[in-house]
Amino acid sequence: VDNLARPWLVGKATRIPDFIVLLSTIGGIASFGLQGFITGPVVAAMFIAVWTTFLAKR
């Protein structure tokens, strides 16, 4: 249930697409275990922020 509810809740607050939040959560758990539950979406959000800034400055 949490893997389905979390992307919806986190995506609304951060304006990150639900699919990206879900993939980053699953990828974070697969890579880092329980700690990846938090770090996966954080890393994805940082990547999206850097990528958006990079594209805006081009």
pLDDT score, position 58 = 85
Q: Which two tokens stand for residue 31?
A: 């890579």
| CA-based nearest residue to 20, from 55, 51, 54, 58 | 51
The model carries a pTM of 0.71
**Residue 37: pLDDT above 60?**
yes
**Minimal CA–CA distance to 29: which of 21, 20, 39?**
39
- Of 28, 30, 58, 57, the C-alpha closest to 45 is 28
Tell me what percent of the residues of the chain surpass a pLDDT of 90.
Answer: 47
42-53, pLDDT tens digit by residue? 899 899 999 999
